[in-house]
Structure 1
Amino acid sequence: MRTTKRALARAGVVAGGLGLAMIAATGGAQAYTYDGSDPSSTGCSSGATTVESATVKNSNATFGTIELRYSLACHTAWARLTLNYTQGACGNASAGYACANAEVIRNNDGRTYSCTIYQGQSQCYTPMVYDKGMTSFAQGAVDTALGTVITRTAAY
């Protein structure tokens, strides 16, 4: 069977279209090694460092710290939110407040993972994003009587 340039070009258009359809179906975010994995259970948290951090505060109070953690061994990043207090009642209408939460966001494609600090807890960390050759940032949110305080770290 003889293949022509035109047939190859058509095949390339079809394959390219299928690729775009797959990107659209997955929300545009590429799944890499370790995406969505737990830093502790994979061993990536061993030897990890805080590469960026920011204080979660408003003009009246300081609530905690949001950190962007990074594992050089795994080339992964994740967010860790630590409150200066134990989370009170949250997450339902009777509590009146949303629970504090953190997110890690990979800049290149928007892949995002989150965690929530529930009543009685003071810390959470997100699943990881792979980010070798890419950048990510961490963001923390705390609901207060004066509104929601959202703080993000610089990207790394």
Structure 2
Amino acid sequence: MRSRLRTFARAGVVAGGLGLAMIAATGVSHAYAHDGGDPSSAGCAGRATTVESATVENAHSAFGTIELRYSAACHTVWARLTLDHTQPACGNASAGYACAGASVIRDDDGRRYGCTIHQGQSQCYTPMVYDKGMTSFAEGAVDRAAGMADVRTAAY
């Protein structure tokens, strides 16, 4: 009987340790107010400003602009990617290219939201991340016949 209890106790310690290791490895980020919200419907986009931007380009071509948008009223940021031309066929094997997209990433905990520009469109914006007292950045990626481009803004 004693050896069975000892075996169960050891199994509990191992299982508990694995659980803590899994929690530490996943790096779960804290969700703040407005995390994942739509800037327009939340009323945060009205007086927002572009605080950082970068040209999405490679050695051969410029494709558009990635912006980090900031709302002082909501203390949030989001990414907006605007292409110079509408997105051609993308996202499947016959197109041969991935669709352009943007991400906003909060530096403090890595929380990330993204958006995709589908065929025929030229712009997308991501959901928001709360940013008061923290920093975040925007990233944009384009895949075209002229090559790939992946760029990020400075953090704000």
- Common fold, TM-score beyond 0.5? yes
1:59 aligned partner: 59
Query: Cα deviations across residues 9-66 of structure 1 (Å, max 9, x unaligned)?
Result: xxxxxxxx9xx78965974211000000000000000100000000011111110000
Q: Is the Cα contact below 8 Å between 1:100 and 1:117 reproduced in 2?
A: yes
2:9 aligned partner: none
Which amino acid is the alignment partner of residue 68 of structure 1? L
Whichever of the two has the greater Rg, that structure is: 2
1:141 aligned partner: 141
Any unmatched runs of 5+ in structure 2?
A: 1-16
2:50 aligned partner: 50
Q: 2: CA distance between counterparts of 1:23 and 1:148?
A: 35
Q: 2: CA distance between counterparts of 1:116 and 1:148?
A: 15
Query: Cα deviations across residues 90-138 of structure 1 (Å, max 9, x unaligned)?
Result: 0000000000000000000000000000000000000000010000000
Q: Is the Cα contact below 8 Å between 1:56 and 1:64 reproduced in 2?
A: yes
Q: Displacement of 1:145 after TM fit?
A: 2.7
Any unmatched runs of 5+ in structure 1?
A: 1-16
1:123 aligned partner: 123
Q: How many residues align?
A: 138
Which amino acid is the alignment partner of residue 34 of structure 2? Y
1:40 aligned partner: 40
Q: Is the Cα contact below 8 Å between 1:23 and 1:29 reproduced in 2?
A: no
Q: 2: CA distance between counterparts of 1:38 and 1:25?
A: 29
2:68 aligned partner: 68
